[in-house]
Structure 1
C-alpha cells in the first residue's frame, strides 16, 4: 500500500458584432431583486444565521469532470463492482490513474511498477472498464520519472486510436518538484537534470509527441500550490522557482495545470478552517497563468488532482473529514478548478484514534479496505467512510452544466454553496462546522423567487445512514442544521420569475481586450435569443453592482480605481425585461498610471512556502525634489505581513503597510536621477500575491514587477 508522507522540513508540503457602449460606474450596490423567500418566512422562527444566495452572481459552470477520485494500481479493490455503483451514486465524473507517485514508476504497456507493488486486476483496460461503467472521464498520468515522450505517445495511441477510449486529460508526471531538487525527494525521477527547466523542456517534448498521435488530448503540467512548499524556493543554479520557471516555458504548450492540496492543519476542524486559504491560492495560480500565457490563459484549466485534509495522521475517516471534503471541493470548483480529485478510493488502515467519540481508522481512502491495525479492524471492504458522504452531498447539490452561484453565511460556523440548475431550480448546500451547536438558518435569495412549495431535502447528520431524504424538515426560508451536518435544499422557482423565465441564454465568457489604470474594455460572445441589451455586474460578496449596459457584445468600463481587482458577470436581458443566467465570471485587475510622477519596483527575491524576502525600489520622476517620503500599500491577502526590514521604517496595521524613508535614502532627486531601495522579510499564510498599488506621499505610482 502507498501511504502519503510529508517530507521532513517541508512545512505544509504533502506527498502525494456590435458597437460598444460607454458605461458609467454605478455609485451604489444594486441588487437585481429584493430578497424573496417562501411564504412560510412570516411564521418561521428567526434563525441565528442568515444565508444569502444571489442567482445573478455566477461563479462558473459545473464541469462533467468536477468531482473526481484517485485510483491506484496497488489497490486490489479498485475495480470491484460495488465501487462502480458507489461512484455513480456519488456523481463521480473523473478517475485519476495509475495512482499518485506510482505514476512515475509505472509502465503501462506491461503493467509494471519497478520498486512498487502492483495488485492483480488493476491494468489499464480493467481501469477503463470501471471508468466507462461509472461514466467517469479518466485523468491519466504519463510516467515522467522513468518514462519517455515516446512511451507516453504510445499510451495515447493505444488508449484513443486502438481502443477508442477517448481519454482526454493527461498529466506529465505527478509531483516532480519532489524529486530532491529542493531537498526532499519522494518522487522517482531518473533524469540527470532534476531542475524545473528540464521538466519544462520535457513537458514540451511530451506534449508534442502525444498531440501528434491525438491532437484532441489535453496536456497538463505539474505546479506547486502557491503558499505551500516548495513555492518560492529557488534551488542552487536555477533562475527562478518551480512555478515561474515551468510556466515561462510551457504556458503556450499545455491545456491545464495540476496542483495538490493537503492543508495538514492538525485535524478536521483545522482543515475546515484552512479552506479559507483556497480562494487566494487558486487566484494566484490564475494570476500566474495570466502573466505567462496572456490571451491564452482563458483556455488553460486548473485541476486539483489530489486533495485530502492530511498527508499523515489525523481525522481521516470520521465526520470532520466528510465536512472537509464537501467544503474544500466545492470551494475549489467555485474558484476556477474544473476537476477536484480526492486522494483516494482505497488507501489502507493507519493509526487508530477517536474523534468526537467516533473511531477514526487513519485511512485516506473514501472506502474501507477492510484492514486491521492490531485488534482494531475497519468495517467491511467498500464501506463508505465520511468523506464519501461529503462528496455524495456535492453530487446531490449539482449536475454538470449547472451554474455555481455566490452565497454566504452570516455566522462563522455555517457555510453555504449554491447552484442554479438547468431546470431553473436553485439548490443550496448548508454545512454546520460546529461539533456541538445546532444552527437555525434563515435563507434569503436575490435574483430568484421561490414558489412557496416545500423544497426537496437531502441530509447527512449524526445518526443518518449516509445521505438521506429529509424532505419535510426544512422550508425554502428556514432550516435547522444539526452539529457536524450537511443539508442540501432544492427550491423551486415561482413561474414567470427569475432566469428560468428569460427567453435568452447566458452570454459567453467575457474577456478583457484592453486594461488601463482607470478603464477596462470587455467583450463576450452573444447570448442566444432576442437580446434587448447586455448588463455588466460586479460581484460584491452576495450583492451585485450594476456597472452599466450595452446593446452590443463589448463595453468599456470607466472610472475604476488604479490597481483594483474586480469580478464581473455579463447578463442578457430579453425584450420582456427578464435577465438571463450570468455568464462565467471574469476577474481582472486594473493597471497603474503610466504617466505617474513616481515608480515602484516590487520583487520577491526568495521564498520558502510560508515566508519570503522582498526588494522594493522607489523613484521620483517628477520635476521637484522629494525630501522625506512615505510609501503606503495594502496586502492583497489577510495572511501576509512584514516581519523585519532594512533601509526604511515599516509599520503594518492589518493589511495596510506604511513605509518611511531610512536615515540615508530620504532625498529623491527629480526626473529619476536616483532611487531609494529597501527590503523586508515577510510572512504568508497561504498565497503571496504582490501588492498592486503603491502611493508615494499620496501619489499613485506606476508599479513595475
Structure 2
C-alpha cells in the first residue's frame, strides 16, 4: 500500500501546478528524429514487495536525528531504512551503543581506516523511532565480527518481543568477505574470529540463524555475499557460504558498485553491466536455494567520495540502476546513503555519497560545504524513483533507444507511470511514446528533473514529446 504520508507529499507537489491539456506551447523541434518509446502494460516483469526501495543510514552520521529528516525520507518515497555503519557494524554492541576495539586495527590503520573514530551518533531505538515515523521497514546488520549469536538473538528479542518494532530483515555481519580471507589486499572489515574463512563464516552463521530465529521465528535472516565476479576469490566465497548455510537463510545481502570510470560508462551500465551481473548473481543463488531472495544492500556509482556522487549524473543513474536491479532479480535495493561522511571540499564532493548534505566543515577547517539537509541532485532521482516503484507496483516492459532509457510500472488504482531518462548531457531528445495494454486518459501529470533546474517541476498536459538534456521525466497516466 502507498504510504499515506508519501501520497500526501506527492499531492502537495501538484497543488498550484500549471499547464492544462492543450494549453502549453509546442516545444521547439528536436534536431534528431523522434526516439520510439514502447510500453507494454500487459507484460509484467515483477511485482514489487513492500520496502523494495531503501537507503542506508550510517550509524556514525547524526543527520538521522535532524528535524527535517523524517519529512525528507517521506517526500522521497523511501520505504526501507538500513541500520548499517559499514565496518563499524562488526564492532557495534546494540545494548550499550558502544564499539569494540578493532581486532585488526594495525592492518586497517595502515589503510587510513580508523573505525573506532566513527562513534555511533544515534541509538537503535532512535533509528527505530525514525523508521516508525516515516512508515519505513527496517534492515539491521548484527555484529558478526566481535559479537555472538546470543547477542544477536537478544537484539531480535528486544526489537520484536519487547519493543514490538517488527524488524523482519536481519543480516549477519557487513561485507564480512573483506575480513582478509580473500587476500591481504582485501582486508577492510573488522573480524575477531581466528578463522576468517568463508567456511567459518557460513558455519558460524548457522549458529546465528538458529539463535535469532529462536527469539523470533518470523524474521528473515540474510548472509553476506560478495559480488560474484568470475575468476576472483569472491565467487569462491559465495559458493562456500551458499553450500554450507544457503539452505538455512532467507536472503543474501550483496553490495553493488559499478566502479565506472566515466559518466557515459556509468549511465550505460543499467542497460548492460547490471542486467548481466544480476543474472549471474541470481543464477548462482538459485542453484543452491531457489527460495533465497537477493537484496542489494548497498549501491551507488562508486564507494568512495567524488563529485560524481552528488552530481546530476548520479541523479540519472540512481533510478535507472535501481530499476534495472529490481527488474533483474533484486527484491530490495538500498542506496548508500541517506547521509554519509563529511570533510573535503567542492572538488571532492564534500566527502558525501549521501542524498542529503551532512553539513560539516571541510577537512581544511576553512571552507563550509552545503548546510545540513541540503538536497543533493540524486535526492531528486530518488524522489522520482519513489513515485514509480511504490509497494505493489508491477514493473512492465518498456523500451527506447539511443540516449533515451525507459522504465514503467502499473500502480494500484489504475495508474501507469513511465519514467523517461535522457542521458545526453548536451542535447534534448525527441520521443514518441506508444502504450499497449493500458487505455490512458487525455491528460497526464509530468514530473521533470533536469541538470539545468536542479529540482523537480510538475505540470499537467499531454505526454511530452521532448526530453530536456540530462533529465528524468516521470509521466503519470490514468484511465
Question: Which category of TM-score, normalised to the shorter sequence, fits these structures?
Answer: 0.7 to 0.9
Q: Which one of the candidate residues 278, 284, 287 is aligned to 1:282? A: 278
Under a length normalisation based on structure 1, what TM-score does the superposition of the two structures give? 0.59
- Secondary structure (helix, strand or coil) at the match of 2:371 reads coil
Shift of 1:255: 0.6
CA distance in 2, matches of 1:105, 1:492: 50
Report if the CA contact (8 A) 1:50-1:444 is conserved.
yes
CA distance in 2, matches of 1:110, 1:313: 30
| Residues 566-618 of structure 1, C-alpha deviations (whole Å, 9 max, x = no match) | xxxxxxxxxxxxxxxxxxxxxxxxxxxxxxxxxxxxxxxxxxxxxxxxxxxxx
Report if the CA contact (8 A) 1:153-1:206 is conserved.
yes
Q: Which one of the candidate residues 223, 239, 245 is aligned to 1:244? A: 239
| Pairing 1:437–2:427 present | yes
CA distance in 2, matches of 1:361, 1:74: 16
Larger Rg computed on CA atoms: 1
Report if the CA contact (8 A) 1:268-1:309 is conserved.
no
Give the structure 1 partner of residue 417 of structure 2. 427
- Secondary structure (helix, strand or coil) at the match of 1:88 reads helix
Report if the CA contact (8 A) 1:259-1:304 is conserved.
yes
**Number of aligned positions between the proteins:** 434
Give the root-mean-square deviation of aligned CA atoms: 2.2
Shift of 1:187: 0.5
Q: Which one of the candidate residues 243, 250, 254 is aligned to 2:249? A: 254
CA distance in 1, matches of 2:135, 2:187: 36
Give the structure 1 partner of residue 287 of structure 2. 291
| Pairing 1:400–2:391 present | yes
Shift of 1:232: 3.9
Shift of 1:101: 1.6
| Residues 670-693 of structure 1, C-alpha deviations (whole Å, 9 max, x = no match) | xxxxxxxxxxxxxxxxxxxxxxxx
Report if the CA contact (8 A) 1:232-1:242 is conserved.
no
Greater share of residues in strand: 1
Give the structure 2 partner of residue 7 of structure 1. none
Describe how 1:374-385 pairs up with structure 2 within 5 A: 374=364, 375-385=366-376
Under a length normalisation based on structure 2, what TM-score does the superposition of the two structures give? 0.86
Unaligned 5+ residue runs, structure 2? Answer: 1-20, 102-115
Report if the CA contact (8 A) 1:313-1:350 is conserved.
no
Q: Which one of the candidate residues 83, 93, 96 is aligned to 2:82? A: 96
Greater share of residues in helix: 2
Describe how 1:144-543 pairs up with structure 2 within 5 A: 144-183=144-183, 184-227=186-229, 232-234=231-233, 241-275=236-270, 276-293=272-289, 297=290, 299-314=291-306, 315-349=308-342, 351-352=344-345, 360-373=349-362, 374=364, 375-411=366-402, 413-451=403-441, 453-464=442-453, 466-472=455-461, 475-476=462-463, 478-493=464-479
- Secondary structure (helix, strand or coil) at the match of 1:361 reads helix
Shift of 1:288: 1.4
Report if the CA contact (8 A) 1:74-1:117 is conserved.
no
- Secondary structure (helix, strand or coil) at the match of 2:98 reads coil
CA distance in 2, matches of 1:220, 1:279: 22
CA distance in 1, matches of 2:240, 2:57: 30
| Residues 487-527 of structure 1, C-alpha deviations (whole Å, 9 max, x = no match) | 1001123xxxxxxxxxxxxxxxxxxxxxxxxxxxxxxxxxx
CA distance in 2, matches of 1:266, 1:285: 23
Report if the CA contact (8 A) 1:457-1:490 is conserved.
yes
Change (3 A) 1:445 1:132: same
Unaligned 5+ residue runs, structure 1? Answer: 1-37, 494-705
Report if the CA contact (8 A) 1:268-1:324 is conserved.
no
Shift of 1:424: 1.8
Shift of 1:121: 5.2
